[in-house]
Amino acid sequence: MNTEFERLKDLLEAYMSETLPGEGPEESRTLFEAMRYTLDAPGKRIRPVLLLLACNAVHGDEKEALPYACAIEFIHNYSLIHDDLPAMDNDDMRRGKLTNHMVFGEAMAILAGDGLLSAAYEMMHIDYLKHLGDTEALARRLNAGAAIAEGCGTGGMVAGQTADIEAEGREASAGLLEYIHLNKTAALIQAAVKAGAYIGGASGAAAIALAEYGKNIGLAFQIKDDILDYGSEEGKASYPEIHGLGVSCTHLEELTERAVAAANNAEGTDARYIDLLTELAVSLEQRAE
């Protein structure tokens, strides 16, 4: 992975180590242990790194974007905890570790997810309050927060998860599968890119171009997951199951090309960071896991 990606990941990890929920009072200590258990698991941190890259691409200050990068990683991890629950995907392992509910029980896992989601919004709102006297700075932050809220809520990730659950055990159409993937996975990835662009002060045209980049790599990311998982998951709607492996691979390449084109169409941006966004899109297409 490019050294700049690693630098941004390290920057995020350092910020998270300062802002992660601590032990908390004795009466609720298990909650904080459960929250940290999932957050501390090794992960690629793709969404927060995308947010920071987008901020830098529009000549923004990455330090200003850190609360939002951290918030989107909290939200992503909350979604993983809930997805793994017996009532959802019923998974025992995640990132080489027992899933949260296998360690702490279902009730505490639900609460840990709730805690992470709440902590994400608390973090963003604290940052809003620091900029009440600067209308322009506050507007950038509110736009970023709104993008994240849209991406993870009933118009994004939660809607996609709902459709995915209801599609289990029955034949899904190509249109339904597209809806699931665009919302369950792509929406939060796109939100990360949009939020970073907003924090960085992107112009309207640049923000639109980067949002298009985020949408395409988000959908490509899920199709790649489907390809990697092909044949190993029963009863789950996937691109290869509906379209075939060859068509899925071709569409993956097309989406990556669209993402690259969109990033390069973002006017007034830093060419170095556009190149890094391009490199990340290609690396996600070519990943082996």
Q: What is the CATH number of the domain that holds 239?
A: 1.10.600.10
Q: What is the pLDDT of residue 231?
A: 75
Structure token digits, residue 137: 């700075």
Segment 18-37 mean pLDDT? 85
User: Contact 114/106 with Cβ under 8 angstroms?
Assistant: no
Q: For a pLDDT cut of 90, what percent of the chain falls above it?
A: 84
- Side chain identity at 170, as an amino acid letter? R
Segment 27-49 mean pLDDT? 92
User: Contact 37/23 with Cβ under 8 angstroms?
Assistant: no
Nearest to 84 by CA among 28, 22, 34, 121: 34
Q: What is the pLDDT of residues 119-161, one digit of tens each?
A: 999 999 999 999 999 999 999 999 999 999 999 999 999 999 9
Full residue range of the structural domain in which residue 67 is found: 3-286
C-alpha span between 79 and 160 (Å, rounded): 12
Q: What is the pLDDT of residue 203?
A: 84
Segment 60-71 mean pLDDT? 98
Per the structure, how many domains does the chain have? 1
Enumerate the H helices of the chain as residue ranges: 3-19, 29-39, 46-57, 62-83, 100-104, 106-129, 135-152, 157-167, 174-181, 187-199, 204-229, 239-243, 245-264, 271-286
